[in-house]
Structure formats: structure tokens, C-alpha cells
A and B are shown apart, each in its own frame.
Chain A
Amino acid sequence: MFSKTLRISSSPHINKGVSVDVIMRNVVYALLPVTAFAVYAFGINALLVILTALIACVMTEHLLNKFSNRSSTISDWSAVITGLLLGLTLPPIFPLWMTFIGGVLAIALGKFVFGGL
């Protein structure tokens, strides 16, 4: 009986269970109405800018994780937030290629070089 090795850990042994990805996802939910209104007010251009920024951020995150042999951090939603926020702050008539570069730099410089979420 009880042949298994025990796991030991440092106290406290329980956690409230509200983890970073949950918080980040909630932030995304909170941004959705704003995003919807932005599209309603500024039309398809705004949607394109936001989508470009989103795609740039998530893609950069994915590629950099892959090239630096790190496990994927897409699922913690932080890259999505970066993309959304960037897209929302830019003017709707902003050129998409500039938006794209902005997204790439936000993740590559802001997150990968200096760390943090």
C-alpha cells in the first residue's frame, strides 16, 4: 500500500484558480463592445485595421515562440489583447502595412526583448 512517491510542494497548497489567462480573456471580452462600436462608427476600415493588428501580433508571437523553442503562449490571450488595443488606438484610415509593422514590433520588441506579459 502507498508505494507511490509523494509529491511535495510549498504552501499554500491551494490556489484561488483565477489565473492569468482567465483575466486576459476577460479583458478581451471587455474590449468587444468597444470594438463593435468602433466598427459601427468607422466602418469596414476600422475592422481591417483591428484585424491586421490582431493577426500581426498573434502571428509574431507564434513565430517567435517557435524559433526560440519556447512552448506556445498564444493560449494566455495576451497577444490578442496587444493586437486589439493596438488596432483600437490607431486611426481607421491608417495604412494596413504600417499597422502590421506596428503589431510585429509590439510583440517582438515590447514583449520578447523586454519580457513580461
Chain B
Amino acid sequence: MLKFSSNTFKHGVHPPEHKEDTNKLPVRQFPFPPLIVLPMLQHIGKPAQVIVREGQEVARGQLLAKADGNLSVPMHAPVSGIVRKIANVPVIGGQKASGIYLETFPFSGQEVVEGAPVPLSASPEAILQGIQDAGIVGLGGAAFPTHVKLKIPEGKFCEHLIINGIECEPYLTTDHRVMLEQADDIFTGIRYLLRVTDAKQVIIGIEANKKDAADHLADRIPDDLPVKVKVVPVKYPQGAEKMLITALLGKEVPSGGFPIDVHAVAVNVATTAEIGRLLPHGRGIQERVVTITGPGIKKKGNYLIPIGTPLRFVLEQVGAAENLSEVYMGGPMMGVSASDLDISIVKGTSGIVVFGDENVKRNDKIYPCIKCGACVDACPISLNPSRLGILAKSEAYDTMADEYHLMDCFECGSCSYVCPSNIPLVQYFRVAKGIVRKRKSAVAHV
């Protein structure tokens, strides 16, 4: 049944994996921190609206903030405690955003309050509503509200439901552990997803370095589900949904299009497990699995951490090296480096990678482009990063967008990873994309 597929996408890179430190370690419950710092915007879209008052006692799992419109998700209390303050809290970019400080009851049993269950027999609309009410977003890192992604647009249909268990980021092993430990939740989640998308078949895509997880899931497929497990070769960035669709279905999502244009919907495997775990109990997300690893960490592992746990508390608990130099939220390829240890774990935090002083061996000297073409060979969507980089330097942003498909770039970092001249191509593209978007919206508002 389990076949090794030679199918993959074109180009891509092979960064060292470093997964062996944590992929054998079972998920462990992390201690509750004395203070939870909960930003209201942990997803793509509008921030959640706070519905509790300062000084109010809340139970674990209770709704703290409701969704603001469709492109938004609610926020639940990760611990039982007292709302100390509703104020701006530090977030990853270095700025501050609206949020809640929640003081944990030290001796509480931390039982979870449950809401109205969403049964499998509910209508697809009710399940979508249930997914939004549970505060579920893409747990792979993008944190896009899952119910928005699952809503099939008028006139389109979904044939393939793709469960993304690729986890191509180096160091991270959260999805790996979730697949090994939460198989039942994953299949329950798939049942819910099938109800919503009405897909004909389900493919669980897993990279060859997680063969144990693939075997584990393949052995447990319920007879009544049209599920296949497909093992694909290890390559970064296969976990990007458009790359995965090419790898599994052999079809390319059109430029500027969505997976539904090739009749597919892709959902991260941890997100699927969360749907299967939360919906039958009417719960909301209170915690997530986070891989904490990197050369600067003593107690590496996969931990179930309450959302909103401050980074400083996390690092103290796992014995981070005192000379830590860089802390990445997410993997080293697409993760964002933390500027401040007072930020907290959010729904999109799939891993924390810590590098000490001696591990950051970056050559800061940027050489001129030598036109070697390594980036062109690396780009998974066949852009020309070299040319784009030269255009970015001369600030020809409109040319980049109109003639060189800048907006298709999803910032996987493959081009910067291979660049021998250390040119920060992805950073150039990020800036350029921001400027192009601003110009477009300025034109739209005239």
C-alpha cells in the first residue's frame, strides 16, 4: 500500500534537517506560567474583540474575545485565572498590539470548560461555524483562519482533500509527533473536513524522513474513509501547499490562484487533529504542540504549551543557554527572529529554535551578484530571484510585480539560502511586496 512516490516539485533545496534531536521525544505537557500574555491578533485578519472585563475570573477554555467578522477567529482562555489587565502586549515584530494579561490561579485543577459540541452529523455550515468558534487557524505557521480556507467558493468543487504532514522546515518535529500520537484525532478531523469540502479522496502527504509516522497512519486508516498516505522525497519547501499539490497531484496551482482552482484543499495535519479533538467537545484552542530545539537549548523536546505563555518563561523552563543570541519563532527558514523575550507563544508558533553566540556564524559581507544562477535553480516556483534582486536594488518595484511575478513569491527563503554572495533576496522581496501592495491600495482609493 505504502509506496515511495518519485513525484515532487521542481527545484527546491536540501538544508540540513537537525530533526533527530527531537523526533523521538513524545509530546510533554508544559507547566502553566504564572502570567499569560495573550495578543488578540494571532491570525491573519482582524483582531478578536475582547468580551471580558479587567478583574474578571475566567475558567480555562472560556471565551475571552469574539471574532470580528468572517476573517477573524475568537480567543479562549488558555488557563483558569483572573484577567489582570486589558492593554497592549508586546508582539513579535517589536511593536505592541491589543491583548490580555491573564494571571493563572496557582492551585487550580485547570479543568477545561466545554461548549456546545458540534457533531459530525451537523450541516457543513454548522461545522464551518464550529471551526471558527473553536478559534482554529493554520497551525503550520501561517495562522490563516481555517474556516475561510475551507469555504468552497460558489461554482467550484473540491475533489482532493490534502492533509499536509510534510513539515519541511529544518529542526521542527511537531507535525511528526502529532501524527504519531494523535492518529485518532486526525481521522476524526478528516471526517469533519470531508463533510465540509465534500472531497472524493483524501491524501496525507508525508516526507520520507517521517516514514514511521506514515506507516503508523497507514495502519490506522478507517475502512470507510477514502484516505491514502503518500510518501514524497525530502525537499524544502514541500510543505508549502502549492508545492505539495504539485508533488501529490502533478498539477500546478495557477499564478495568483488558490488550490481550489485545481479542485484541491490542503490542510495542515496538526490543524486537522485539532479539529477532530475540539469540535466533538465544543472546545476552543488553548494549547499547541511546539518543538523547542536548537543548539542553545538543554532540554530539547516537543511540548504542549498553553497559548500565551511568555517566551522568557518557556526558555527558563527548558534551560536555554545564557548567551543565547538569536531566537526564532518557527523554523530557521521561514521563522521570524524574536526581538524581545516578553512576547508569547501564539497559535502559529510551530517551533522555537535557539542559537547561541557560537552557532550564529553569519558572514555579514554582501558580495555583488556573480550571476551563478543558484537562486534560479532553487526557486520552487521558477521565478528569477537574481533578476528580481537587481530590480529591487534599483527600486523598480512595479517592473518586479508586473513582469517578474514578484507577488507569487511566498518567501520560502530558498534563494537566500543558496546565495553565495549572501544577498538578502527574501528581505528585498518582502520590502518590494509591501510597497507594491501599498501602491495598489493607494490607486484603489483614489
Q: Which residues of A contact B417 (CB under 8 A)?
A: 12, 14-16
Instruction: Specify which chain B residues have a CB less than 8 angstroms from the CB of A115 in the assembled complex.
Output: 368
Closest Cβ–Cβ distance, residue A109 to chain B (whole Å): 16
Q: Is residue B47 contacting chain A, with contact meaning CB distance below 8 A?
A: no
Shortest distance from the beta carbon of B336 to any chain A beta carbon, whole Å: 7
Which A1-50 residues sit within 8 Å CB-CB of chain B? 1-2, 4, 6-16, 18-20, 22-23
Smallest CB–CB gap between A1 and chain B, Å? 6
From residue A6, how far is it (CB to closest CB) to chain B in Å? Answer: 6
Q: Of all chain B residues, which has the CB nearest A23?
A: B420
Cβ of A30 to closest chain B Cβ, rounded Å: 14
Determine if B363 is an interface residue (Cβ-Cβ < 8 Å). yes
Bound: A65/B216 CA distance, A: 61
Residue of A nearest to B370 (CB): A117
- Provide the bound-state CA to CA distance between A1 and B320, in Å: 10
A4, closest chain B residue (CB): B323
Distance (Å) between the CB of A92 and the closest chain B CB? 30
Docked-complex contact A14 and B170, CB < 8 angstroms: yes
User: Does B326 contact A6, Cβ atoms closer than 8 Å?
Assistant: yes
- A47-88 vs B, CB cutoff 8 Å, 1 = contact: the mask equals 000000000000000000000000000001000000000000
Q: Do residues B335 and A11 form an inter-chain contact, with CB atoms below 8 A?
A: yes
Give CA–CA (A22, B422) in the complex, Å. Answer: 13
Say yes or no: B416 contacts A15, CB within 8 Å: yes
Asked if B115 lies at the interface with its beta carbon under 8 angstroms from chain A, I say no
With A1-B322, A2-B315, A16-B13 as given contacts, are A11 and B422 in contact (CB-CB < 8 Å)?
A: no
CB <8 Å contact, B334 and A16: no
Tally chain A residues at the interface, Cβ within 8 Å: 23
Q: Which residues of B contact A15 (CB under 8 A)?
A: 362, 416-417, 419, 422
* Contact yes or no, B367 A12, CB < 8 A: no
B312 in the interface (beta carbon within 8 A): yes
Given known contacts A7-B326, A11-B411, A15-B416, A20 and B426 CB-to-CB distance under 8 angstroms: no
With a cutoff of 8 Å between Cβ atoms, the chain A residues found around residue B374 in the complex are 18
Contact, CB under 8 Å: B368 / A117:
yes
B337 interface residue per 8 A CB criterion = yes
Residue B427 CB within 8 A of the other chain:
yes
Partner pick for A6 among B337, B363, B427, CB 8 A cutoff = B337
Chain B nearest CB: distance from A24 CB in Å? 8
Contact between B420 and A18 (Cβ–Cβ < 8 Å)? yes
**Pairwise interchain contact A4-B335, C-beta atoms closer than 8 A:** no
Per-residue contact bits, chain B 408-446, to A (CB 8 Å; 1 contact, 0 not): 000101101111111010110010000000000000000
Query: Does A10 lie within 8 Å of B326, measured CB to CB?
Result: no
User: Which of A4, A10, A23 interacts with B427 by CB under 8 Å?
Assistant: A10
Contact A16 B339 (CB under 8 A): no
Q: For A12, what are the chain B residues with a Cβ–Cβ distance below 8 Å? A: 332-334, 413-414, 416-417, 426
Which one, A8, A11, A14, contacts B338 given CB within 8 A? Answer: A8
Closest CB in chain A relative to B333 CB, distance in Å: 5
Instruction: Output the nearest chain B residue to A24 by Cβ-Cβ distance.
Output: B370
Contacting pair B367 A20 (CB below 8 A): yes
**Is there contact, CB below 8 Å, between B363 and A19?**
yes
CB <8 Å contact, A13 and B328: yes
Taking a contact as CB atoms under 8 Å apart, the answer to whether A6 and B341 are in contact is yes
A115 CA / B370 CA spacing, docked (Å): 11
A13-B337 contact, Cβ under 8 Å, with A6-B325, A19-B422: yes
Do the beta carbons of A1 and B316 come within 8 Å of each other?
Answer: yes
In the complex, whether B87 has a CB less than 8 A from a CB of chain A is no
CA A19 to CA B427, docked complex, whole Å:
19
Does B332 contact A14, Cβ atoms closer than 8 Å?
yes
Query: How far is the CB of A16 from the nearest CB of chain B, in Å?
Result: 5
When the two chains form their complex, are residues A7 and B367 in contact, meaning their CB atoms are under 8 A apart? no
Chain A's closest residue to B316 (CB) is A1
User: Which of A12, A18, A19 has most B Cβ within 10 Å?
Assistant: A12
Per the bound structure, the CA–CA distance linking A14 and B422 in Å amounts to: 11
Determine whether the beta carbon of B335 is less than 8 Å from that of A16.
no
Decide if B97 is an interface residue (CB 8 Å cutoff): no
Whole-angstrom distance between the alpha carbons of A11 and B326 in the complex? 12
B325 contacts A4, C-beta separation under 8 Å: yes
- Assuming A12-B413, A14-B332, A20-B367, is B327 touching A6 (CB within 8 A)? yes
Is B2 at the interface (CB under 8 A from chain A)? no
Do B363 and A9 touch across chains, with their CB atoms under 8 A apart?
no
Known: A11-B335, A15-B419; 16 extra A-B contacts, CB below 8 A, are A6-B338, A8-B326, A8-B338, A9-B326, A10-B424, A10-B426, A13-B326, A13-B353, A14-B170, A14-B417, A15-B416, A16-B418, A19-B367, A20-B367, A23-B420, A76-B367
Complex A-B: 19 CB contacts under 8 Å: A1-B322, A2-B320, A2-B324, A4-B325, A6-B338, A7-B325, A11-B328, A11-B413, A11-B416, A12-B332, A13-B326, A14-B16, A14-B332, A14-B333, A15-B362, A16-B15, A19-B421, A23-B370, A23-B372
3 shortest interchain CB distances as A-B pairs: A12-B413, A10-B427, A8-B337
